[in-house]
Amino acid sequence: MLNKELLTLPVTELAKLIKNRQLSSVDLTTMLLQHAHQYNPEINAYISFRDERALAEAAKADEEIAQGNYKGTFHGIPMGIKDNIYLGGEVTSMASKIHSKFVSVDDASVIEKLKAAGAIIIGKLNMHEYAWGITNNSPHFGACHNPWNLEKIPGGSSGGSGASVAAGMSTITLGTDTAGSIRIPSSACGLVGLKPTHGLVAKYGCFPLAWSLDHIGPMAKTVQDAAAMLQVIAGFDARDPTSKQVEIPDYVALLNSDVKGKVIGINEEYFFNQVDAPIEKLVRAQIAQLEQAGAIIQPVSIPALQHAEYVELITSLSEASTIHHEDMLVRADDFGDDIRLLFELGELPTAVEYLQAQQLRRELKLQFSALFNEIDVLITPTLPVLPPDIGSSVAKLNGEEVDLLNHIIRFTGPSNLTGLPALSIPCGLVEGQPVGLQIIGPAFQEQKVFDIALAIEKQVQFSYHKPTLDRI
């Protein structure tokens, strides 16, 4: 079965072939590298490749498996990794000019765990500079293109991550998410993307954008793949002050698509306000199917959401500008124009405004916490608009042009403020572009989110939809 069809398989299927020695890691890694190199000039998902190192690691994995030392699902599985997650001794650029030669001493915590699981890293993936943007238009490395439509953005900041998995240029990957940067490209590229509970996945060795909002999570072809990845990367690391010591369940073994009796919350006034009609139709169709399968649909109110966009703005601007303050003083011209403006704006909020925002944020957390005493999950659209053409600052919302940045993070940002787990899953196509449905759950109860996502995955059967790359 050594053909490119292998690259369309989920990791859990590839793992069976590798475990049974029907497929070698070297062969799979070679094929993935060839495919990624072939399509990267057009899609621009990778910033750099590590062919020799990856093939050497794959050969070692094959030897270990032959000796009976199989480590599990990710043993011998090749993948790209976002270029703000450190590989010790190798360049991690954050898609920036300033850090173009930065070499970390240590691997990131998630990389340590992936390596321990036997995963093979084939290269570093393109991203919006310093992870602050939703288009993945890089002044330093060029725009990343959406495999479903090369004229469209793949979403950001984890655009290279989304594009690579959608195009079969990576089997699975990780993204980082500060206001939606896992879920936005997952929605745009037709993937399952999970932002876990804040503190569940350690962030040591990941360059920060905003300390209190940042998350790392899987971007995958299937719910089972995402659950398997979370199984590997979750867990405490004392080197990350936000990391939490909690029990890690067996997410894959516990997967259950039975929704009978599950209570699903729907918030109309915020999460279904100003949504492009075809997107709204697809999301509501899935909710209706869940209800037919025995789920209970319950309207809910979350008054504090009226402040969410302001709080997200003040928090992200202030924290990000603090991180980059010194470089702004001496190397401002080395930032891309778009993020330099954001860093400049981040100097404007006062300490009073920042602290007031955190007070409002606490109220939002309290209301969400109370809400999950009544419901199992909350379902929303992931994005209210379709991703626009590369270079556009506007999107179409029911026929009218609206500001892209203001709208595309409206539904993803609240989960960063609350730290709650949120997953985007494909629920169909509009104008040939994937549309994502978002599932938000209680803190550290990713299993509830996975289970509802699995039910939707079975309803939609989106895995049968793949972008056609032979047009390139």
- pLDDT-derived band at 471 (thresholds 50, 70, 90) equals low
Q: With bands split at pLDDT 50, 70 and 90, how would you rate the model's confidence at 467?
A: confident
Which H/E stretch holds residue 27?
helix 25-43
Token code pair at residue 208: 């920060």
- Does the pTM surpass 0.85? The reply is yes
Q: Give the model's pLDDT for residue 464.
A: 62
Q: List CB contacts of 405: < 8 A, sequence separation 6 or more.
A: 134, 393
What would the DSSP string read from start to end of 29-80? HHHHHHHHHHHHHHH--EEEE-HHHHHHHHHHHHHHHHTT----TTTT-EEE
Across the chain, mean pLDDT equals 96
147 pLDDT above the threshold of 60? yes
Q: Which residue has the tokens 């497929």?
A: 23
Strand partners, 146: 149
Whether the pLDDT of residue 50 is over 80: the answer is yes
For 426-458, the pLDDT digits (tens) are 999 999 999 999 999 999 999 999 999 999 999
- Domains of the chain: total: 1
Which structural domain range is residue 222 located in? 4-471
- DSSP state letter for 336: -
Give me the pLDDT at residue 432, please. Answer: 94
328-381 pLDDT per residue, tens: 999 999 999 999 999 999 999 999 999 999 999 999 999 999 999 999 999 999
Q: What are the catalytic residues?
A: 82, 157, 181
pLDDT of residue 100: 97
HSE on the CB side for 173, CA within 13 Å? 36
**What is the rounded average pLDDT of the residues 258-268?**
98
- Percentage of the residues of the chain whose pLDDT score is greater than 90: 96
The CATH code of the domain that includes 218 is: 3.90.1300.10
Confidence of residue 39 (pLDDT cuts 50, 70, 90): very high
